[in-house]
Amino acid sequence: MKILFDNVFGSLQKAIDTRFKRAQLIVSNIANADTPHYKPVDIDFEKVMSEFAQNSNKNITKTHYNHMDTSEFKSNSEAAGLRSDGVVMGLDGNQVDVEKEMVKLADNFSHYKALLQLTNKKLAQLRYSINEGRTHENLDGWFSSCFIRIECSKDTFKYHCQ
């Protein structure tokens, strides 16, 4: 049951969510490229994910069934990972470097797609188990899921191939 109930889906969800939020921030930076005195904002993805990884290990035990579920509050670390860095680009005090933001957006997008592929492979792996490993193509899916997981672990989050 390790495949079903490990917290990989939780990490993936958090990672995809953070990537999407980061994209929204970058897009708002690009939209404000002509706004005087605007400072670009960004999320430190690694920081958010490492805090998530730390917090998900600290499960608070409920001693009463009426206690609030803490899982919703555990990973509210976007604000902590929020940073604002930039140099003044023009005379109007705007600090947005549009080229830099576009590169960040493209980079974020490819990481996001990799995460979606991971999720798909994870689901394919699950489907493979449900089908009792009958079809040949699902076998392919399982092996490639192992491969991609190792590739992505470098800068997203640590997860070992089983």
Residues near other proteins (CB under 8 A) are 16, 19-21, 23-28, 30-36, 38, 41, 78-79, 82, 98, 102, 105-106, 109, 112-113, 116, 119-120, 123
CB 79 → other proteins: shortest distance, Å? 8
Query: Residues 6 or more apart from 10 whose CB is under 8 A from it?
Result: 56
AA letter at 18: T
CB 1 → other proteins: shortest distance, Å? 20
Contact 118, 152 (CB under 8 A): yes
Which of 35/71 has CB closer to other proteins? 35
CB 65 → other proteins: shortest distance, Å? 27
Which of 71/76 has CB closer to other proteins? 76
DSSP label at 93?
-
CB 36 → other proteins: shortest distance, Å? 7
**CA–CA distance, 24 with 18 (Å, rounded to integer):** 10
Which of 76/162 has CB closer to other proteins? 76
Which of 59/90 has CB closer to other proteins? 90
Place of tokens 């549009």: 98
**CA–CA distance, 34 with 24 (Å, rounded to integer):** 17
Classify residue 4 as exposed, middle or buried by CB count within 10 Å of its CB (0-12, 13-18, 19+). Answer: exposed
